[in-house]
Amino acid sequence: MIMITNQLKNLGLSDNEAKVYTAMLELGPATVLEISAKAGVNRPTTYVQVESLKKMGLVSTQTKGKKQLFIAESPEQLEFMIDRQKNELDQKKEELQKFLPELTNMFNLSDSKPQVRFFEGKEGLLKMHSELLKSDTKEVVSFASTDGLLKIFPDYPKTLSSKRIKMGIRSRLIYTNIGEPVLKKHDDNMLREAKFVSSDKFPFKSDVAIYGDNISISALEGKVVGVIIVHKELADSFRALFNLLWESLGE
C-alpha cells in the first residue's frame, strides 16, 4: 500500500489524494465515510480529495437510493491525466518562450556588478550544469573532487559529461580523489585533459568550473548548494589561477 501510494505521488498526486484513490480502487463503489475509514484520512479531508480526484477524471459518482457513492476510474485514466499535464506544460513552455527575452533583459544587471545566482540540492546542480551547455564557450576549466561528484551523480560520465562532449566543449580538469588517479591525462574521446593531485595535498571538497564570464562553485559535501557568479574580471582572475596551478603541475 505504501509503495503504491508513493508511486502515485511521483505521478503528481498529493499524499492524501494517493491514499484516497488507492482506498477507492480496493473498495469499489463506496461512501465518503467508507473511503475515509479505508484511507485513514478524516472525513472532511476525504471529501476534498474526492472532489480533487473528480476534476482529474479519476473518480466518478453514482446514486444508490439516498446514498451518493464514489467510484475510482480505471488506473489507465492516469495515463490520460499525464498526457493532459504534458500538453499543458508544452503550452506553458511555448507561452514562456514568447516573453523570455523580455524577462532575461530585466534579469541582466549592469556590467560592473556581478550577477550571482544560488542553487540548492541535486536538481540545483543539474541546473547549474545546464548553464554551461547553454553557453557559447569552447572550453571549461575546473577544479573538482571526483569522489564528491560521483557520490552525487554516479552516472556523471555517461550523462553530464556526454552532453558537454556533444556540444563540443573541451575540458581541462585538475582533480583529486582518494587513492590513485582515475582519469586519463589525455582523453580525446572525452575532449578532456586531466591532472591529478593527491587528496592528501589537495583536500578539495567542491567543484569549481570557469567558462566564459562564469564561475560555477558547488559544495559537494554537507548541504549540497551552488552558486554561479557572472563577472568577466573575476572569471579571468580565477582562470589565471587555474592556469598557474595547471602549469606548475607539469605533465
Q: What is the pLDDT of residue 211?
A: 97
Residue 169 near residue 137, CB atoms below 8 Å: yes
Residue 178 near residue 199, CB atoms below 8 Å: yes
CA distance 210 to 117: 15
Q: For cell 498526457, what's the residue?
A: 83
Divide the 251 residues of the chain into consecutive groups of 10 and give the mean pLDDT of each group.
Answer: 80 89 91 92 93 90 87 87 87 88 67 80 91 92 92 80 91 92 92 93 91 95 92 94 94 76
Q: What is the pLDDT of residue 154?
A: 86
Q: For cell 569552447, what's the residue?
A: 138
Q: Identify the structural domains of the chain with CATH numbers, from first to last.
A: 2-74 (1.10.10.10), 114-248 (3.30.870.10)
Percent of the chain as helix, strand, coil, to the nearest 5: 45, 25, 30
State phi, psi for 67 to the nearest 5 degrees.
Answer: -95, 140
Q: What is the pLDDT of residue 112?
A: 60
Q: What is the pLDDT of residue 238?
A: 96
Nearest Cα to Cα of residue 171 among 160, 181, 180: 160
CA distance 159 to 161: 6
